[in-house]
Structure 1
Amino acid sequence: MRYWMTVIGTGYLGITHAACMADLGYEVLGLDIDEDKVRQLNAGELPIYEAGLGELLRRGLDSGRLRFTTSYAEAAGFGDVHFLCLGTPQKPGEYRADVSQLDAAIEALAPHLVKDCLVVGKSTVPVGTAERLADRLAELAPAGVRTDLAWNPEFLREGFAVQDTLRPDRIVLGVRNRRAEMILREVYSPLGDIPTVTVGFTTAELVKVAANAFLATKISFINAMAEVCEATGGDVVQLSRALSYDTRIGGRFLHPGVGFGGGCLPKDIRAFMARADELGAGRALAFLEEVDAINTRRRTRVAALARQLLGGSIDGARVAVLGAAFKPDSDDIRDSPALDVATAIDREGGLVSVYDPAALDNARKKYPALNYAESALDAATGATVVLLLTEWTEFTELDPEVLGAVVARRNIVDGRNVLDPDVWRDAGWQYRAPGRP
């Protein structure tokens, strides 16, 4: 059977999932309550930066297999399988996740369902959310309509979202019955022989947050080692390399620097801790408090390295910040370490100029008080210190002589440990990086 699908929520996850499902040959209707975004998507304009996704979106539209709407009634009549791809941000002033978008989607969709269907959650949620939503879906759906629910967490990496959707390393199916499992297995069958794990709701909800907690812990571990190296004179980059040859440890996510950010890891580990506390298992995740604290300290340390290069004070100094996105190949500035450092330096009286290849528009909207440049050289012109805070390729490949020709002083803080210190020092630069002598 070839299912007709809806994707509810057209953020980063929703657009990617909708475009990829259409590319696999499915008829897909995306839904969002934002009328401007729906018009933009129907015109083939991508509101986010993601490699390969714009082409996939336009191909789906041109084929007629993909379109977007604001109507829940239309979506309910269209789809056999409804994917929930809505945000679960951190609640203001607390650690808990805000699942109100998911609640609102169920409330709006369920009364309009006119045929048997499967609703599939893909959002990252606290344990217990799927069970609660399944019960509410059954309460609201019209009599005689079978409305099963499943939980199918996403594992997308920004910058590799299309690849991770079409060639995933695993698929997790959280289901309560055989029917839901078989529908999802058929939906994903065009992807080929992908390792698939069938579990209950609770385990499906835990998989994503557990994975993010592990990755965050690994990143903060090597950044904790950077703190030790700074106290002892060791070199954390060499330490990381030596550790990476141990197959029990491996080198992925063992890269020291200014720490992690984005819309997933920070808020997910905090929500995980909050939910564990509610369930009486808070002690089991107490270590994540320190994981979070280490991550925050690395941002403070990068600002301290800049201050050190400037003789103890940033006030009045011209500071070039290379990077605004939380990671390269993305325009996502949520919990961006780069912008966190930039605003801290701005508060200390530094004259900040920020450049990023993709995230400037987003940064300008959220941080209008900062100054922005149109190129790395423009940002660095007249600077007394340069901070490399997002590891875009164009930054890692900068020529120290070319950059040196426009700065006022050759001072650089390599917040991502991606430059060769010897090359930059040989070119007359004062080089600093977290965890390096």
Structure 2
Amino acid sequence: MSTISVLGCGYLGVTHAAGMAELGHQVIGVDVDIAKIAALAGGRSPFFEPGLDELISRNIAAGRLSFTTSYEEAAAADVHFLCVGTPQRDGGAADMSYLDAVVETLAPFLVKECLIVGKSTVPVGTAARITSMLRVLAPAGEAVSVAWNPEFLCEGKAVSDTLHPDRLVLGVPDERAEKVLREVYAPIIDAGVPVVVADLPTAEVIKTAANSFTATKISFINAIAEFCEASGADVTVVSEALGYDARIGRQFLNSGLGFGGGCLPKDIRAFQARAYELGVGQALAFLAEVDAVNLRCRERVVEYLRKQCGGAFTGRRIAVLGAAFKGGTDDIRDSPALHVANIVSAQEGEVAVYDPQAMSNARRAFPHLVYENSVLEAVRGADAVAVLTDWPEFVTLNPYTLGDEARSRNIVDARHALDPTQWLRAGWNYIAPGRPALQASLNEPVDSLV
């Protein structure tokens, strides 16, 4: 088994470090955040991810996983995974300063043959640039090789995606690097996971292309939802029919509030920015409309809520169910739910937010919003309710119980999480994106509000 360092202990780094230890490797995670390292050393992840705390604790106890702030200590490893964030800069391009800082800090301690493996999402050409940096900064010189092994994790199931991925992409400069990576991932490869071997720029493009296609698919069905509203069609039935088409598939074909998080929005913008730098900007110009459709989803939900509140939010209480950008995580980066909440708040609405996991993060980032400890508390006295994150607990909400708490029975189901028939029968004014004929199609009488 290999000795591995994982540089950067965010979502990707922590999950990857624990996953590699689970495969039997000796792993050390590195981060400059002392408090984060202390929490991890105690078996606690600094963020919510199902199953991750158990994975960390088990491998710490087994002696395979440790955490440090020392790059010198980490440099003794044979394989170094770069798992540093590449946030968006003004103009859309990726900010590579954090990744560069990690390489510059680690390089002086690299005195033996080793492999640097990038997992961060980066502009094409980054691996070649890092190779040049290491030739100058690392004492081991050409004995330090660079490979790229992009991640394809979905928050909420990152542990499973790490240990049971749908494919492995190995971007390698030579056979030696490929051999090292195949040894690292031997248990996964032996289980039959497909392996795609590519050169460095191809591996870098694969990740950004995958995220851009996913974003395009989500925005496509949301554009169809807009069309359905204008034409009287039902987007959920359209999605179902499209999903049976083998050329299309059902995954990521749910209309609603669109995508958010720390990956898709920034990655499609960085992909466009790099295309323009390479002189082929028009080839990816369509991603600008993908981005615009996605942001329009949020604006439409605000309009639904405004309509339910009589045309203005002043003096109205809006219950926002959800703060995380999606269910299964406490990540609020570019959260569509909080984007909607902030627009309503800026227009003088009182916003009451509830989320099963993301309350602390949301409260720190947006202290001006009201936060409640349960769905019932958030809905109490509300003039409208908005389901904005797809948490399972929202699916089973009782429309009568909530109706007794709300001031007015208005609800926007932006994630298509609810059974509309139940809510309409309970007397709720129910709106969902792309389903304009829903109320008219309900032929059964509405239950009494008493």
Could you state the TM-score of these two structures normalised by the residue count of structure 1? Answer: 0.98
Letter in 2 for 1:203: T
The DSSP-based 3-state class of the residue aligned with 1:106 is helix
CA RMSD of aligned residues (A): 0.9
Equivalent residue number for residue 46 of structure 2? 47
From 99, 103, 113, the counterpart of 1:102: 99
Q: CA deviation at 1:145?
A: 6.7
User: Does the aligned pair in 1 maintain the 2:135–2:141 contact within 8 Å?
Assistant: no
Alpha-carbon distance in 2 for matches of 1:142, 1:323: 50
Letter in 2 for 1:68: F
Runs of at least 4 residues of structure 1 off by over 6 A?
Answer: none
Q: Look up the equivalent residue of 2:353 and give its one-letter code.
A: V
Q: Report the equivalent of 1:158.
A: 155
One-letter amino acid of the counterpart of residue 89, structure 1 = P
* 1:415 paired to 2:411: no
Question: Does structure 1 residue 130 correspond to structure 2 residue 127?
Answer: yes
Deviation at 1:234, TM superposition (A): 1.3
Conserved 8 A contact 2:113-2:140: no
- The aligned residue for residue 182 of structure 1 is 179
- 1:331 corresponds in structure 2 to 330
- What is the Cα deviation at residue 101 of structure 1? 1.1
Q: What is the deviation of 1:141? A: 1.2
Residues 115 and 145 in structure 1, CA contact (< 8 A), matched pair in contact too: no
Q: Are the aligned partners of 1:325 and 1:333 in contact in 2 as well (CA < 8 Å)?
A: yes
Equivalent positions of 1:279-428 (< 5 A) are: 279-428=278-427
Q: Which amino acid aligns with 1:313?
A: A
CA distance in 2, matches of 1:88, 1:238: 38
Contact preservation (8 Å) 1:113, 1:145: no
Identify the match of residue 87 of structure 2 among 89, 92, 95. Answer: 89
8 A Cα contact 2:394 2:417, kept in partner: no
Q: Please list the CA deviations of residues 368-422 of structure 1 after superposition, one character each: whole Å capped at 9, or x if unmatched.
A: 1101000111100010100000010111110111111111111000011121211
In the other structure, the counterpart of 1:167 is 164
Q: 1:300 to 1:151 in 2, by over 3 A?
A: same
Q: Secondary structure at the match of 1:422?
A: helix
CA contact (8 A) 1:8 1:84 kept: yes
- 2:62 corresponds to: 63
Alpha-carbon distance, 1:25 to partner: 1.1
Q: Unaligned regions of 5+ residues in structure 1, if any?
A: none
Q: How big is the shift at 1:40?
A: 1.1
CA separation of 1:144 and 1:96: change in aligned 2, threshold 3 A: closer
1:46 is displaced (CA, Å) by: 1.2
Alpha-carbon distance in 2 for matches of 1:267, 1:188: 29
Using the alignment, how far apart are the partners of 2:419 and 2:22 within structure 1?
42
* Most deviating of 329-338 and 227-236: 227-236
The answer for the alignment partner of 2:200 in structure 1 is 201
Q: Does 1:116 align with 2:113?
A: yes
Q: Alignment partner of 2:430: what SS?
A: strand
1:172-198: CA deviation from partner (whole Å, max 9, x where unpaired): 011111100000001100112211011
- SS class of match (2:45): coil
Query: Partner residue of 1:429?
Result: 428
**AA partner of residue 238 (structure 1):** V
**Deviations 1:186-222 (Å, cap 9, x if unpaired)?**
1100112211011011110001110010010000001
1:146 corresponds to = 143
1:247-258 to 2 correspondences below 5 Å: 247-258=246-257
Q: How does 1:187-266 map to 2 (within 5 A)?
A: 187-191=184-188, 192=190, 193-266=192-265
Conserved 8 A contact 1:114-1:145: no
- The CA distance in 2 between the partners of 1:201 and 1:144, in whole Å, is 19
How many pairs align? Answer: 434
Where does structure 2 lack aligned partners over 5 or more consecutive residues? Answer: 437-450
Query: Post-superposition shift, 1:266?
Result: 0.2
Say whether the 8 Å CA contact 2:359–2:371 is kept in structure 1.
Answer: yes
Distance 1:29 1:239 in 2: 48
**What letter is aligned with 2:396?**
E
Q: Which moved more, 1:232-241 or 1:288-297?
A: 232-241
Shift of 1:288: 0.4
State the secondary structure of the residue aligned to 2:132. helix
Q: Secondary structure at the match of 1:405?
A: helix
**Partner amino acid for 2:254?**
H
| Matching residue's letter, 2:123 | P
Instruction: Please report how far the alpha carbon of residue 114 of structure 1 lies from its aligned counterpart in structure 2 after TM superposition.
Output: 2.3
- SS of 1:425's equivalent in the other structure is helix
1:125 corresponds to which letter in structure 2? V
User: Matches of 2:415 and 2:182 in 1, distance apart?
Assistant: 40
Residue 431 of structure 1 aligns with an amino acid whose one-letter code is Y
Q: Could you tell me how far apart the structure 1 residues matched to 2:379 and 2:314 are?
A: 17
Matching residue's letter, 2:184: V
CA distance in 2, matches of 1:247, 1:194: 22
Contact 2:319–2:353 (Cα < 8 Å) also in 1: yes
Match of 2:117, SS state, is strand
Please state how far the C-alpha of 1:144 moved relative to its aligned partner. 6.3
- Please give the per-residue CA displacement for 1:273-310, whole angstroms capped at 9, x wherever unaligned: 00000001100001000000000001000010011112
Contact 1:396–1:419 (Cα < 8 Å) also in 2: yes
What TM-score results when the alignment is normalised by the length of structure 2?
0.95
Shift of 1:232: 1.3
The residue type equivalent to 2:4 in the other structure is M
Q: Contact 2:110 / 2:140 at 8 angstroms: preserved in 1?
A: no
CA-CA distance at 1:143 after TM superposition: 4.5
CA distance in 1: counterparts of 2:241 and 2:65, whole angstroms? 48
In 1: Cα distance, 2:313 partner to 2:142 partner: 65
SS of residue paired to 1:283: helix
